[in-house]
Amino acid sequence: MPDIRHTPQAPTRTQTLAAGERIDAHRHDDHQIIYAGSGVLAVTTDAGTWFAPGTRAIWVPAGCVHAHRAHGHLDLHLLGLPADVNPLGLDAPTVLTVSPLLRELILASTRGLHDASPACSPEGMRLRAVLLDQLRASPQQPLQLPTPTDPRLKVVCDLLYEDPADARPLAALGRASGAGERTLSRLFRRELGMTFPQWRTQLRLYHALRMLEEGEPVTAVAHRCGWSSTSAFIDVFRRAFGSTPGEHSRS
C-alpha cells in the first residue's frame, strides 16, 4: 500500500494549481474546507470523486484520505478547522454552495486578514463565528461520482466515463457486463446511492465542467456529453450550478 502523506493540522492558506496538476493522496487530523476561486476542483477518495466550480466548496472531514486534481487554473483557498469543530455534522466529503458572504469569509480567513487577526484575537474569533454560522446554513450539493466496486457495475461506469455521449439504455449497456437491467439498477441504488439516470447526469456534468475549462464551445460540450440539445444542456447545468454554461465560462 502506498505511503499516505499525513499532515496533523490541516493548513489554512492559499495555493495555486496549474491545469492538470494534482496533489497526491494525503490526510489531516483536522477538517478542511477547500474553495477554488477559479477553475474546477476535483477531490477523490476511495469512495468516489466530488467536483466543484467557483460557486462551490468541498468539505473534507478529519482523517479522510483524499487527493486533488485541477481542471483549469485553480486559485485554491484551504481553510482548516479543528476536529472537534464540525458545524455541518458531516463525516464524508460534501460539496457546499458558497454564498457571496461565505466566499468573502473564506477569502478573509485564508489571506491577509487571517494574518492580521489571528483566530485567538477578538477580531479573529468574531470572523470565525460568522463563518461557522454561514457554513451551517450552506446548502449541500449532490455533485459526486461514487466509485463502483461490483465488477459488472464497473464495466458499465467505465464505458460511460470513456464516452459520456453514449446514449444506450441500461439494458444494452448491461450486455457488455453480463448483467441484466434489473440487476444493474439494484446495484446503482445499493452501491452508488442513486439511480442510473442520476449517475449518468452527474457524470455528464463533471465532463461538461472539465470541457468548459478547456475552452470548448457550449454547443460542442452539449453534443460531446450526450445531451439531446444545447438548450437541454443549459437547463440542467443552470439547475445544478446556478448559472448557464456561458456564464460559467466567462467567469
Superfamily of domain covering 148-250? Homeodomain-like (1.10.10.60)
Encode pLDDT of 184-224 as tens digits.
Answer: 999 999 999 999 999 999 999 999 999 999 899 999 999 99
Encode pLDDT of 137-147 as tens digits.
Answer: 998 888 899 99
Q: Please report which confidence band the pLDDT of residue 54 belongs to, taking 50, 70 and 90 as the band edges.
A: confident
Domains 5-141 and 148-250 share a fold: no
pLDDT of residue 113: 46
Give the least confident one: 50-59, 99-108, 110-119, 177-186. Answer: 110-119
Encode pLDDT of 110-127 as tens digits.
Answer: 875 444 445 567 777 888
* Whole-prediction pTM: 0.85
Domain ranges of the chain: 5-141, 148-250
3-state secondary structure the chain: CCCCEEECCCCCEEEEECCCCEEEEEEECCEEEEEECCCEEEEEECCEEEEECCCEEEEECCCCCEEEEEECCEEEEEEEECCCCCCCCCCCCEEEECCHHHHHHHHHHHCHHHHHCCCCCHHHHHHHHHHHHHHHCCCEECCEEECCCCHHHHHHHHHHHHCCCCCCCHHHHHHHHCCCHHHHHHHHHHHHCCCHHHHHHHHHHHHHHHHHHCCCCHHHHHHHCCCCCHHHHHHHHHHHHCCCHHHHHHC
Fold (CATH) for 5-141: Jelly Rolls (2.60.120)
Give the least confident one: 1-10, 26-35, 62-71. Answer: 1-10
**For 66-80, what is the mean pLDDT?**
91
